[in-house]
Structure 1
């Protein structure tokens, strides 16, 4: 009789107790076992992941802080539901914000969503906080890992020691622009822990944006997926459903499963999970183009869509296509490198593919130049301190002693190499840079135009010029971000070309004499040092009027 009673108890007990897959309630947390060596606890109070154990090792927690939306949500409504026996969804409601954590049978993953309806909840990222002493670093490679003894040198989040600098902002050496990486992570001999980024359709910044995505130090490292990063930002804050971002584990430090990458993942199994504002593939459209004309050899071309609700992009090597687009009207932009060479308007319809005929790129490089410094590509690539790959100022502070002095010698057209011209110019550091050039007798008889390409203007910084005794009228700021940029590893703002017509009367009337161009940064704002008004240079040239 006692045997039958025990047997009956075993048969009637919840399967989650004896099978690996499922969830229990420990009173404070929902405890989810994925049947993939991953067990996660989620707070029933605020939706934090309070424990993340993979193969018995804890990968959550630093100084009392959990893995969570931003710095954590307050008291929330937290519920749990099972779908079709193989998916568990935890739902967190905090004010107008909805946050979801999804688990799938046999997957060592946490699928993370955040639906920010409005700005009443001021969060913009998900942070996975990993305990100390699990992962080590290489100070030269991990430029976003702050070594002990490196004191703060700017705003408390940029650190330096012995002339070298590190910051949580400096992802440029390993990861780069949003379109360049699918994931960030840390590995050791036992494990790989990765944050696989979402498709960023509701994020901000576009394909070339550089963002805080990882941070390390002796207190333990963080992994982020950031949807709106304010540094150097010129894009709108897009509201709505972000995700999934995927917290993913592998054994023995192996690379992540590429089938989870946003650019190729099939999320059809999520269609029935009642995730607010989720749009299945059937509710999306696509655009396809037959090709691009006037492409230049050696440059990457990117086709991008954006409006205030969503953003998408893809590389174009000839024919091109962008799938999975929310219905709506978008600005279509073609970039040569990071420079806009075409814009138009397109409309995407659910369940259909919009066809686009051949697009002819309009390239400022096509205009014959009297002289040109740099290449029109929307970046300072090739200039002083930007003449290596990856470009050093994307992963170190401009004061870093591994960089050449920004106050370079005067530039002589036809003699000085492109790498002798500063990629950044600040009002307080290397202003009033001089360029020497000669003109032919025919050129001395006519006006000319100087085109000055700027990719970012910090603190309202913008260029003006003078030639010999003539000075151009000061131009208004065309509009850039109003936060730090050049010191946090990004030159990406808005691309603008400032044009200055130089009258024939400005020239020294001698074909053998040098004309002297002075380039100055101006601004109505004030700051000092590397935070003073500054610009990032795309190219500078002189063309016929």
Structure 2
């Protein structure tokens, strides 16, 4: 029987204390170091020379490398889950040589991994099948902030849009997007969820499961609607991710400081307990551990709002808070718009009200430690849908959701066999206009989409404003329009993420509206004839196919 399993006598316990084996229960709580029962003796840690071996006193035993801080073993009920390709679970892509220390405080074992600007913390608690993790990053000396849990091949089903079969699937883009013989596409990017949409991600066999319960993402970048890697699997192994900064579809500068806890949790096949979700998690036990940068409940504040005026009942509303140090969000109640956001670090934040994913109201709000900031009803005053339009294609909600292929693009490549043709012109008033209009236009794929519409004599006798709302763009792609014989000027390039978001499951960038003032001379004078609006993508950059300059659309309308 291994050292961390055997029952310890008092003599053995005292001898083992130099390498950290410890008991739990009332004796430990009283500080005596004695075991209250034989079963409690299984909680503790040993040193096998290369790793700290931590037994939780439940069904989980983990190992942490003494030289790198990697988690080198996750054994649940005696079965090993950790590692693939000779690599282990760690922050970033592995820190390499690090200073690794361990200590026991009450019913918690805490490992500190220090390497340059990053400190990783790993904790296990007595009687739990969970591992608690924190990442503290001080600067940009590492390009990403993520924790990756690497899992052995074959322990979980290899299925879903974020899985692929390396032996038979064909690589179609950048070495990480694959196409199967049936034409479906697969990639680690295609988990299809925004941060606000999930509390946990993981794998299950039905009888055993491993979940990564995300943190509150207060030090992440991108807000509630950000999409990034969550998990992947292939025949070589599987992985779970906690992504805090990845330079993929990033719309904000990176934030620094302590982030967590995020939690690895084993179950017997079911979902993790909701008590582990960041909004419910009791972290009072963390306060005395000495984790650098940790701010407990007493050092945090709250914002509560009575409600929102001017809401559109068709949409969900979210209230976001952001500054250079932290970000938070809360869902607004349907009908009233009431909201509450707790656990916020002190500071002054920009409060943003989102209709869907479109910012429609902003203001400043200050949070104090231990305080609660109350806000009266906020009146939404910047919803572009309130403007009267002759016609409107889609609606202003910050997403391409009403348009063709939009939903598929959150978990598939645009070349996927399930995608409807990206070409096709639209007639306003013809029915199903938005569903016929492509969510994305690329210069090398479907440039020059046409919209046909008629005007009354009175409408044709006046100039009108044409608005084209976009959500994201690739390599400076932006719309240029022509109406009949009139051609607009080329707009300036928008500020958008530099990554290939449109092919990696995200339409989320910096929502921007391009405004074109169309003169009276542009319209057809014969009201029985259709006016023809042509949409082109322009850019000073070049690319090919779905990596040519492109943009995703939110809404297009012609104002009265």
TM-score with structure 2 setting the length: 0.92
Q: How is 1:103-118 mapped onto 2 (pairs within 5 angstroms)? A: 103-118=124-139
User: What's the CA shift for 1:356?
Assistant: 1.4
Q: Does 1:279 align with 2:295?
A: yes
2:45 to 14, 19, 23: 23
CA contact (8 A) 2:144 2:246 kept: no
User: What's the CA shift for 1:61?
Assistant: 0.9
The whole-number CA distance in structure 2 between the counterparts of 1:400 and 1:437 is 31
Give the match's secondary structure for 1:221.
strand
User: What's the CA shift for 1:11?
Assistant: 6.8
Q: Identify if the C-alpha distance between structure 1 residues 7 and 107 changes in structure 2 by more than 3 Å, giving closer, same or farther.
A: closer
2:247 to 210, 230, 242: 230
1:441 to 426, 432, 457: 457
The whole-number CA distance in structure 1 between the counterparts of 2:250 and 2:136 is 21
Aligned to 2:539: 523
The whole-number CA distance in structure 1 between the counterparts of 2:300 and 2:14 is 45
Alignment deviations for residues 297-347 of structure 1 (CA, whole Å, 9 cap, x no partner): 121000000111110001001211111111111111000100111011111
The whole-number CA distance in structure 1 between the counterparts of 2:246 and 2:201 is 16
Aligned to 1:198: 215
User: What's the CA shift for 1:244?
Assistant: 0.8
User: What's the CA shift for 1:349?
Assistant: 1.2
2:403 to 355, 374, 383: 383
User: What's the CA shift for 1:9?
Assistant: 3.8
Give the match's secondary structure for 1:465.
strand
1:125 to 146, 149, 153: 146
Q: Does 1:324 align with 2:340?
A: no
Give the match's secondary structure for 1:452.
strand
User: What's the CA shift for 1:381?
Assistant: 0.8
The whole-number CA distance in structure 2 between the counterparts of 1:472 and 1:106 is 67
Q: Does 1:34 align with 2:34?
A: no
Q: Does 1:63 align with 2:80?
A: no
Aligned to 1:145: 163
Q: Does 1:44 align with 2:66?
A: yes
CA contact (8 A) 1:425 1:534 kept: yes
The whole-number CA distance in structure 2 between the counterparts of 1:7 and 1:135 is 39
User: What's the CA shift for 1:8?
Assistant: 7.1
Alignment deviations for residues 427-462 of structure 1 (CA, whole Å, 9 cap, x no partner): 111111111111111111110000111000111111
Aligned to 1:536: 552
Q: How is 1:208-227 mapped onto 2 (pairs within 5 angstroms)? A: 208-227=225-244
The whole-number CA distance in structure 2 between the counterparts of 1:43 and 1:449 is 63
Give the match's secondary structure for 1:365.
helix
The whole-number CA distance in structure 1 between the counterparts of 2:445 and 2:419 is 14
Aligned to 2:428: 413
Give the match's secondary structure for 1:520.
strand
The farther-off stretch of 430-439 and 12-21 is 12-21
Give the match's secondary structure for 1:370.
strand
Moved over 4 A (4+): 10-13
CA contact (8 A) 1:461 1:521 kept: yes
Q: How is 1:59-458 mapped onto 2 (pairs within 5 angstroms)? A: 59-84=81-106, 86-138=107-159, 142-147=160-165, 148-162=167-181, 163-172=183-192, 176-251=193-268, 253-317=269-333, 318-361=337-380, 362-386=382-406, 391-408=407-424, 410-417=425-432, 418-458=434-474
Q: Identify if the C-alpha distance between structure 1 residues 307 and 7 changes in structure 2 by more than 3 Å, giving closer, same or farther.
A: closer
User: What's the CA shift for 1:190?
Assistant: 2.6
Number of aligned residue pairs: give it.
526
Q: Unaligned regions of 5+ residues in structure 2, if any? A: 1-7, 23-37
CA contact (8 A) 1:69 1:123 kept: no
The whole-number CA distance in structure 1 between the counterparts of 2:371 and 2:428 is 52
TM-score with structure 1 setting the length: 0.94
CA contact (8 A) 1:95 1:121 kept: no
The whole-number CA distance in structure 2 between the counterparts of 1:331 and 1:462 is 28
CA contact (8 A) 1:337 1:378 kept: yes
Aligned to 2:34: none
Aligned to 1:3: none
The whole-number CA distance in structure 2 between the counterparts of 1:180 and 1:105 is 31
User: What's the CA shift for 1:10?
Assistant: 4.8
The whole-number CA distance in structure 2 between the counterparts of 1:64 and 1:229 is 23
User: What's the CA shift for 1:269?
Assistant: 1.1
Alignment deviations for residues 147-175 of structure 1 (CA, whole Å, 9 cap, x no partner): 24112110000001221110000011xxx
Aligned to 2:475: 459
The whole-number CA distance in structure 2 between the counterparts of 1:267 and 1:70 is 25
CA contact (8 A) 1:168 1:215 kept: yes
